[in-house]
Structure 1
Amino acid sequence: MSRALDRLRAAFVQPDPEYAPLALWFWNGRLHEAELGRQIKEFADKGIGGVFMHARESLQTPYFGERWWDAVDFAVRKGRDAGLKTWIYDEYAWPSGAAGSPGGRNGQTESAVLAQGSEHHAKTLTRLILEVEGPAEVGLEGRYPTGTPLVQVAARLDADGDLDPETLVDVTKLNTWECPEGAWRVFAFSVRTIDDRIDYLRPATVKGFLDAAYERYAERHADAFGDGIPGVFFDEPYVTAEPMPWTDDLPARFEEDKGYDLLTSLPLLVLRGGNNTVKVRCDFYDTVAALYEEAWFAQISAWCQRHGLEWTGHTEEHVVSHPARQGDYFRGLRHLTIPGTDHHGFRYARPRTVQAAEVKPAVSVAAMAGRSRVMAEAFGGAGWGVTLDEIRHGANLLSAYGVNMLVLHGLFYSMANAEAADDWPPSFGHQNPYWSHFRDLSDYMARLSALVGHTRSGTTVGVLYPWTSIAANTADGRPNARAREIAEAYEGLIDGLTDASIDVQIVDERFISHGNARLENGRLRQGALTVSSLILPPTPVIGPRAMRRLGAFVRSGGQLIVMGECPSGSSEGGWRHRSITRAVGALFKDTSQTPSGAAIGKGRTFQVPEQLPDALERIAEILAPGTTVDSEADVIVVPRRLDGAEVLLVVNRSPEKATATVTTDLSGRPEVWDPETGGTEPLATTRSRRKRRFALDLPPRAAHVVVFGTSVRASRLRASRGTKPQQKDLEFKTDWTFALDGGTPTGQGSIRRFELPVMRVASFSLGAGRLEQLRDPLFDDSEWPETWLAQAGADTIGNWRASWITGVRKHGGWAVKRTSDQHRRLRFLRTIDLSEPPIKAWATFVGADRVAVYMNGTQLGESEDWSSPVTYNIMPYLRPGQNTIVADVECVSDAPISFLFEGQIDLRSGGSIVIVSDESWEVQAPPAEVWSGLAYERNTPLVTWERGRPPVEPWRHIPLLGEPVAFPRTLVYRQRLPVGCVGIGIPNIKGTHKVYVDVRERTPDIQGIYNITTGRLLTVEIEAAEFSNGILAPLALFTRPTTIALQPWANFGYGWYSGAGVYERSFELTAEQVTSEVTLDLGDVRHHAEVFVNNRRVDVRLWPPYRFDLSGFVQTGSNNLRVRVSNLYANEMRWKRDETKMGNAWHRYWHEDNIEAESLVSGLLGPVQLRVGQPPPPEAGVASG
């Protein structure tokens, strides 16, 4: 066995701290040394290898103030003591570059860079287009868009409606212009300054950032650089392109590099204008890329290298926006010593996933540059409902795609307020019930990262990064339809080949054309990256040097596959470049479209359809990979290599167990390695036609490693301990005792005290209706809100039946961003049917900030003050049949745009029609292109969304029909009594009140405890005299262990609870049974199970299968079984919200929309089976046969 394999085995069996996961440590709230120290010890204990000290927007300690530096000093010192690396995160919040809070947001330290002057603020190029029909005299004064006037250029349209480049004329210095005959366009360009972002294209600005941020760390901690502080993380810089990127030096640099004037060519960045359009666009975005690379990437990288620091981080991954917002992704990222990537599939996809196309470019840059590590900012924004099983799934995928440095997003220092708790959760730290078991997951991730770190990619398949074609099709700063098609084909190609177990690397034109890659016998090599088969996504435009090198690549023995459109234009010669079409004609023949392709020199060329499914099928046939996998489930296999061995990473991407049959041409003795345990086993294979075949049984979302070329050092499959005949399974359905774990002892036997922090609450006018029915356990209160007992109940009630509504863009129909409800104008529509004559009708409404309401096309009225609704008699506007209400709402302030409407039509028959603003209204936005530069935001649907009824913030209490909320009122609180409850305490209540259990009124004992002997429902009725009345703190819940049958915790009255519960029971075994194999299968568990037998810990399971080997733990006679089950923090966060802030789409999203109902299911659900005398059915290892 090779030394390389020895090192890998050692790092796999005993996780190597070098590959342990790291985390973004969210510094929010007020930083205190005692808490910082406590958390550092916790992180080290749970297998976290290092943390990035990351100031978040909810930080209350002044950023870069003395208390900040005290905290940094303390964390670095304590981290060293604990063996925990403390990395620098280089900014307050993000994006990096400002060195502080733009505009001093949140009362924080103002950006040091932006404060140096407007020359350091981001610039963007804007334009107005004037349509002129000549001959005509055109006045040009005052025609510029907002910003500093730059240039005015006129051009005539040709017969096709494109600009005629021969007619471009600079008219900047003219007050009036005599327009010749024909259809003309006058372009007025201005430079607008964006005051809350920095100019990433300006070297002096980035130097100012280095001085204001990086040098400050060097002044205090240079002695720790490279050791206690290994490096720096930067986050999501992007060039401001609204619509086009700009910096003051851009025209001069453009002319210096490209040899012609930019300003008179600017119209070609907006509209198509002849063959030269491609050259202007590619030259422009190439200049932007060069400036960005030099100012940001090269400058900061050089600083880090001088100071002995690693430099990692990420920009934006979606290729379609790269020319305008990221320059050339490959040129920038190559300067990182640890190239990094983000991924969005855990935020915006269900089921949660990792898209290979997002991750692969950074992995490929690292391979080309000879970097040993690839970083991924992992699992951010997955929400409180994400399970550790899903995190394992994400780690499997990131590893399969080539990442070996996982940075968890994140560990929250504090969750003291909504701003901190809603900051792209979850927190994987001490707040979550699974935290005590996190070491197991850390070790799992470390094993996989070590596997990737000690091996190299086994693929020689490359996919071209289509920067040039997308730059050529970026018009007015945005990708046009063809650019989007190319980007989608490129990403679909990467993802589709990965799905087919064909691993790929991504290469850019510089890899092909700049001599960086050596060409030998049909293989391009650079660093650790080798390409023998290169696939071009649709590529209408390419650089001439790259095209020439592709010819040499094929003739020397390489395979070239083009998907759809072949190159016909170049970045130098325009849409149609003769040298490109000649080169393509020489490479691609009629036979290129046949299965065997066209023989060109020693190599071959192929053309496949642009339609993705057909293309993928053809490419798989052409590549004929040496290793394939067959399974009914979604299983992929990824080959990797190291000296003296070959490795296959086999990943089950489905939530169901799978059997996978792998066929491979690899040789050597095989073993299967389990990243969950570090265990290794020999693997049996069969041979067929010079191939080897083996089968693996994979649990849901599991990964196994198969290593070829090993020795006999692997452990053998453990034989059964006993030879006794198989016994019938014992099933444990009932006779369990259950109690919550923890709590405070009361000194009264097994009774413990917990907090009951949530109840359902509703409000009624005093004397309205019979309250007795509300005390009945059978009354359905599911429509009542679950309210966190942390604020006065009356302060959350109002007298409106209507809700404030707005429009929200929801990606995938559910995902919300901070900006999803930010609009300037919205229109709401509602129709009602009137089938009989009305006798009275009214409507009251208000908008934020102003609204005009129309009924059946006639304006009803306007409201311009959100605090004072207007009321109208709508009888004159109604008509029989269908009636339409339209509301045009305009926002002119920073308040969130919203609309509130309530009306009632009383009918002659005695009935009434109530009309309220709610989600049933249709919403429309003014016609506008929805495009922010990110592919996953295109065409995001706009839906009506209820912010909530008054008194939701920020408007609070709004009078209805001129009347405020009337007091006194009755507040009714209801809560199902949990199993095992023996008493309730109400420590803080304001207002005259009564307490009921079921329908019987109860009185407290001398200690203020309401003793519970029987009953299912607790009801508290309060006569509220003012808004401050209500239950003002969690109730005291006194419980003892109780006998149960297995059900979800919600059925026990604990649906609100996040934490652990303990199940206990006994079982009998004979002496004969004890000598046999004894296996416990817990069946369905939500979500983590730790098993103890006879007061000895057996093991923990964080995901299925929840199966435990009890051999060696059981005894003859009576045995005690204890199962500690923990759930997710989602159950608590579902109600731990500020009801007055539920009108904030961001706050509500993290507490409602983002939490799947399935993740709230908690407990030991079973069936629980004890198997005696037989091994478990194959599921987690080598398949038999």
Structure 2
Amino acid sequence: MKSQLCKQLLLPAAVLAFACCHVSAYAQAAPSLQAIQQGFLNPPNEAKPMVRWWWFGPAVEKPEILRELQQMKADGIGGAELAFVYPEVLDDPAHGLKNFAFLSPEMLDAVQYAQAEGRKLGLRIDVTLGSGWPYGGPTVTLHNAAMRLRTIVAALPGGAASAPLPALKEGESIIYAAVVNGTQSKWDASASSPATLDSEAARVTPAETPRVILFFVQSHTGQMVKRAAVGAEGWVLDPFSKEAVATHLKTVGEPLVKAFGNTPPYAIFSDSLEAYGADWTPTLPEEFRKRRGYDLLPHLPELVAGDTPNSANIRHDWGKTLTELVNEAYLVQINDWANQHGTKFRSQTYGEPAVSLSSQKLVALPEGEGPQWRTFSTLRWASSGNHVLGNNVTSGETFTWLHSPVFRATPLDMKAEADIDFIMGENQLIFHGWPYSAPQVGEPGWSLYAAAVFNDHNPWHPVMPTVNNYIARLSYLMRQGKPANQVAVLLPTDDAWAAFKPAKVTVTGAMQDLLPREMLGAILSAGYNFDFTDAEAIDRLGVQHSILLLPPTTRIPVATLRKIAAFKAAGGKVVAFGHTPTLSPEGKSSGELTKLAASIFPSTANTTAELTAALHQAAVPDLAFETTDFDRNAIGFIRRKLPTGDIYFLTNTSNREIKATVSFSTSYASGVALDPETGHTLPSKIAPKKLTLTLAPYESRTYLFGNGVTAATSKATTTASAAPIDLSRDWSVSFTGTGKTETQHTLTDWTASDATQHYSGEAVYTRSFQVEKAPSLGVYLTITGGSAEPGAPDAPPTAEKREGIPNPLVTRTGPGTRAWYNPPIREGALLVVNGKPAGALWHPPYRLDIASLLQPGENKIEIHVYNTALNAWAALPPHDYRPLIAKYGDRFQMQDLDKVKPVPSGILGNIELVFEAQR
């Protein structure tokens, strides 16, 4: 097995010994296939999803804290991250509402209580090391606040020997001044002369012609902490400053972690780096000189202008230095602090400022977000870092912006995004989120300004345990074995640094432009999955994938090319898309670089068709398709490699049924399908080749191939199927809690009646039907009639447009997702047959096997249907936030309030009993 796996991976010799050694040790410790099947049936607590638990104000009370923790436990949630955000209400002693000041004794006492009670329930408790985002607050002085480089351009008349100093804002200082030719609107940075600064003026050598003087000012971004709790207001800290970060850890981190007593939080959390415009720090000139070997200040005109032959080189060195500084001051310092305090640093290591992919090696728990699976995503950025670095768990901030506005998101929306997250390598979902809601405020309770609501104020919440069980099972399964993505995409990080400019210093932001979307989509459509890697990771660890794909790249280290050449010489496959490198990171050409690039990349793929052909020539794809172009683009998958088997998870990311014949590249002759709804293994074994699939919208499949997999015992049944029985008419519908019961001869939308237009809650559909004898076939209660919803954004450019429905994929490049589908159940249901629970209906295909619950003669069926809180919310008068804003400022703005209106509710499709032979 050891030699077989190493041969499959096609690793260079230097990495083969390391990989095979670890494969051998891993094989000894890995669970058996039967143990994996059992773990899938009963996933461990650590695989259960978590929630971001928003404490508004914070205005919390211990009884409600305990009740919500108990509800999380009952829902199958594995833990909570304490997140302290803006107030929702003014203090109201008469109703027991009081906003505790951030880090006040009352707030810290509530933290202590929450973590203690959560631990008693077996929940994992994390804590955000601050309030709102990014890190900062009242203890951040202007000296330690996030900084930027500001340029002031002033006219310098002919003959002038000096120029007055410009007026500065508080905390600003002039760090350099230079004279250039040109005007204030257009000046030439290619030749500049320094000015001499004194307390009164900038002294220059006179010239006859008018010129321009540039003042480079060490300034501040002015950014304040967003969504801050009461008492947490203040500047965003300077992420390049060790002093600023250390002060935050002492003044904010220490009190929060101390509140956990002898049981520190499982992890402390830092949200995505959003110190917008932060591109400077007081130590930058000295650090730049020490690291890059020359003085940055005389080159500031070129850095700012960006239009000289050397500008990109200056910007590259500046960007690389900023990355090194944020790594050391922020990531390393916080991670070390976490270790010293018995916890782990969970970090969303992307955004602004300039962290790189390899920066993730500096934190214990890299995390991502963003379900943009066919283009660049920081979720894939995080999972790739974990795959390359050997971390088995990738957490993700999940469901951010899911189907806005608040309360609009449904269980089907959750599945549409969760499945995409799984195929990108996420295996620890952290829901965004769970709003703490004071019971005094009534329904629908508090909510974040823009996020889904997963607490029990949402009427469809009774379906949540089923959704969470689905997620927990797949999270468990996606942690087994090793990641097996075939393609590594080498990020052009040096090109990203060279593309930096003042106030825009983000590697992840640059990748949106540097990685062609059509290239990434073509990899997936060709039947491969991929990770990102970077030059630093290759230099340290080599290439760990079967295929290395180079996107259009200009700058690359020669040392990295040498590593790639060794990988290729050892049998590794290398494919280039677009142009190949011509320059070193510093912007120089060399004979060795030119020779290496030419030998490694003798040709390049310039179209998606050429890329697909090159990939197929390099290695057999993990998933081979026989289907239409549209369906090929809609199917996503991920593979995990076991010592004695393979795991595949496959999903339809589109809003319409697709048909395909697929072949898995596993070397094992047979496997089984696992049902994530129930955890059971399905009865029939399957072959990995030429498997015919029909996938409903957003439907997924899970397969386990290997020697020794066991299928479930199948009852002997007939092979014939009976005609369906239509149960679509004559239902008694009782609206729980209202006293209203009606007979629906034809299934009707609740919003069609004035009496239930704004009803949010449960309705119980009841009727009886006759069965002559106990069935020998599988009997499925099936609800049909769903339809694709027009208007889904951003399908791959090669996707077909069918049936007049444009762009029906869920994929998009912006924030947020949703299922673009009109389901026949709005929005979830629990089925009861003859008084016994039969399961939940929450995604296509809407069907449950009820054969074991049927009896000869009369059978009673109940369908408990739940909609969203949006309908009742739409009937409420607009909330008046003016008193809150008057006291605390405008800290949040509710999103998409124009979309708060009743949505269709109830059972809107046809109900049938469908008889099928069990397989």
- The aligned residue for residue 54 of structure 1 is 83
1:480 and 1:88 mapped to 2: Cα distance?
A: 26
- The aligned residue for residue 765 of structure 2 is 1063
- 8 Å Cα contact 1:341-1:359 kept in structure 2: yes
> Displacement of 1:41 after TM fit?
0.7
- 8 Å Cα contact 1:492-1:612 kept in structure 2: yes
Q: Could you give the per-residue CA deviations for residues 944-982 of structure 1, whole angstroms, max 9, x where no partner exists?
A: xxxxxxxxxxxxxxxxxxxxxxxxxxxxxxxxxxxxxxx
1:396 and 1:623 mapped to 2: Cα distance?
A: 26
Note closer, same or farther for the CA distance 1:67–1:499 as it changes in structure 2 (3 Å cut): farther
- The aligned residue for residue 1013 of structure 1 is none
Counterpart AA for 2:898: E
- 8 Å Cα contact 1:126-1:189 kept in structure 2: yes
- 8 Å Cα contact 1:330-1:365 kept in structure 2: yes
Note closer, same or farther for the CA distance 1:362–1:718 as it changes in structure 2 (3 Å cut): farther
- The aligned residue for residue 428 of structure 1 is 454
1:233 aligns with 2:269: yes
- Match among 1132, 1141, 1151 for residue 872 of structure 2: 1132
- The aligned residue for residue 299 of structure 1 is 333
Q: Could you give the per-residue CA deviations for residues 74-122 of structure 1, whole angstroms, max 9, x where no partner exists?
A: 1122112211122122111211x22xxx4xxxxxxxx2x22xx321112
1:137 aligns with 2:133: no
> Displacement of 1:47 after TM fit?
0.6
- The aligned residue for residue 174 of structure 2 is 149
> Displacement of 1:481 after TM fit?
15
Note closer, same or farther for the CA distance 1:1100–1:63 as it changes in structure 2 (3 Å cut): same
- The aligned residue for residue 850 of structure 1 is none
1:207 aligns with 2:232: no
Alignment length (residue pairs): 805
2:530 and 2:39 mapped to 1: Cα distance?
A: 26
2:506 and 2:476 mapped to 1: Cα distance?
A: 42
Counterpart AA for 2:121: A
- 8 Å Cα contact 2:420-2:636 kept in structure 1: no
2:445 and 2:502 mapped to 1: Cα distance?
A: 36
Note closer, same or farther for the CA distance 1:432–1:631 as it changes in structure 2 (3 Å cut): farther
2:575 and 2:155 mapped to 1: Cα distance?
A: 44
Note closer, same or farther for the CA distance 1:542–1:440 as it changes in structure 2 (3 Å cut): same
- The aligned residue for residue 709 of structure 1 is 706
1:72 and 1:656 mapped to 2: Cα distance?
A: 46
- 8 Å Cα contact 2:195-2:203 kept in structure 1: no
1:78 aligns with 2:114: no
> Displacement of 1:278 after TM fit?
3.1
- The aligned residue for residue 541 of structure 2 is 517
Aligned residue runs from structure 1 range 648-659, under 5 A = 648-659=648-659
- The aligned residue for residue 463 of structure 1 is 489
> Displacement of 1:145 after TM fit?
6.5
- TM-score, length of structure 2 as denominator length: 0.81
Counterpart AA for 1:1061: A
SS in 2 for 1:246: coil
- The aligned residue for residue 357 of structure 2 is 330
1:406 aligns with 2:429: yes
Structure with larger Rg: 1
- The aligned residue for residue 583 of structure 1 is 593
Note closer, same or farther for the CA distance 1:465–1:403 as it changes in structure 2 (3 Å cut): same
Q: CA RMSD in A?
A: 3.3
- The aligned residue for residue 629 of structure 1 is 625
- 8 Å Cα contact 1:163-1:272 kept in structure 2: no
> Displacement of 1:70 after TM fit?
1.9
User: Any gaps of 5 or more consecutive residues in structure 2?
Assistant: 1-26, 89-98, 223-234, 785-823
- 8 Å Cα contact 2:130-2:253 kept in structure 1: no
Structure with higher helix content: 2
> Displacement of 1:649 after TM fit?
1.6
- 8 Å Cα contact 2:422-2:638 kept in structure 1: no
> Displacement of 1:735 after TM fit?
1.9
- The aligned residue for residue 603 of structure 2 is 606
SS in 2 for 1:406: strand
SS in 1 for 2:409: coil
- 8 Å Cα contact 1:232-1:312 kept in structure 2: yes
Note closer, same or farther for the CA distance 1:727–1:285 as it changes in structure 2 (3 Å cut): closer
Note closer, same or farther for the CA distance 1:679–1:1076 as it changes in structure 2 (3 Å cut): closer
Counterpart AA for 1:453: R
- The aligned residue for residue 8 of structure 1 is 36
Bigger mean CA deviation after superposition, 147-156 or 2-11: 2-11
- 8 Å Cα contact 2:463-2:830 kept in structure 1: no
Counterpart AA for 1:1169: E
Note closer, same or farther for the CA distance 1:396–1:1098 as it changes in structure 2 (3 Å cut): same
Bigger mean CA deviation after superposition, 415-424 or 32-41: 415-424
> Displacement of 1:692 after TM fit?
2.8
- The aligned residue for residue 539 of structure 1 is 553
- The aligned residue for residue 804 of structure 2 is none
1:487 and 1:282 mapped to 2: Cα distance?
A: 16
User: Any gaps of 5 or more consecutive residues in structure 1?
Assistant: 103-110, 318-324, 346-352, 519-523, 525-529, 589-599, 744-751, 753-1038
- Match among 312, 335, 342 for residue 369 of structure 2: 342
- 8 Å Cα contact 2:81-2:126 kept in structure 1: yes
Q: Could you give the per-residue CA deviations for residues 583-636 of structure 1, whole angstroms, max 9, x where no partner exists?
A: 234532xxxxxxxxxxx4xx6643122x66765665555554243233443112
> Displacement of 1:40 after TM fit?
0.7
- 8 Å Cα contact 2:331-2:362 kept in structure 1: yes
- The aligned residue for residue 639 of structure 1 is 639
1:256 aligns with 2:290: yes
Q: Could you give the per-residue CA deviations for residues 1065-1097 of structure 1, whole angstroms, max 9, x where no partner exists?
A: 2222324x6566543223222121222223222
1:44 aligns with 2:67: no
- 8 Å Cα contact 2:683-2:714 kept in structure 1: yes
- 8 Å Cα contact 2:581-2:597 kept in structure 1: no
- 8 Å Cα contact 2:86-2:891 kept in structure 1: no
1:31 and 1:583 mapped to 2: Cα distance?
A: 62
1:1165 aligns with 2:915: no
SS in 2 for 1:74: helix
- The aligned residue for residue 313 of structure 2 is 279
1:58 and 1:1076 mapped to 2: Cα distance?
A: 57
Note closer, same or farther for the CA distance 1:709–1:619 as it changes in structure 2 (3 Å cut): closer
Counterpart AA for 1:1082: I
Q: Could you give the per-residue CA deviations for residues 520-578 of structure 1, whole angstroms, max 9, x where no partner exists?
A: xxxx2xxxxx1342222221222343344334444444333332232222332x2xx23
1:621 and 1:152 mapped to 2: Cα distance?
A: 57
- The aligned residue for residue 813 of structure 2 is none
1:257 and 1:738 mapped to 2: Cα distance?
A: 73
Higher relative contact order (CA closer than 8 Å, sequence separation 6+): 2
SS in 2 for 1:647: strand
Q: Could you give the per-residue CA deviations for residues 298-329 of structure 1, whole angstroms, max 9, x where no partner exists?
A: 01101111222122131445xxxxxxx22232
2:153 and 2:557 mapped to 1: Cα distance?
A: 31
- The aligned residue for residue 471 of structure 2 is 445
Counterpart AA for 1:1170: L
SS in 2 for 1:296: helix
2:506 and 2:51 mapped to 1: Cα distance?
A: 38
Note closer, same or farther for the CA distance 1:378–1:1148 as it changes in structure 2 (3 Å cut): closer
- 8 Å Cα contact 2:371-2:379 kept in structure 1: no
- 8 Å Cα contact 1:58-1:419 kept in structure 2: no
- Match among 861, 866, 876 for residue 1121 of structure 1: 861
Aligned residue runs from structure 1 range 875-914, under 5 A = none
- 8 Å Cα contact 1:270-1:477 kept in structure 2: no
SS in 2 for 1:584: helix
- 8 Å Cα contact 1:558-1:604 kept in structure 2: no
Bigger mean CA deviation after superposition, 267-276 or 64-73: 267-276
1:483 and 1:23 mapped to 2: Cα distance?
A: 27
SS in 1 for 2:757: coil
Counterpart AA for 2:266: P
Once the two structures are aligned, what percentage of the paired residues are identical?
21
Q: Could you give the per-residue CA deviations for residues 493-545 of structure 1, whole angstroms, max 9, x where no partner exists?
A: 334423443111211121233xx114xxxxx2xxxxx1342222221222343
SS in 2 for 1:502: coil
Q: Could you give the per-residue CA deviations for residues 1100-1138 of structure 1, whole angstroms, max 9, x where no partner exists?
A: 222222223232333333322221111122323334451
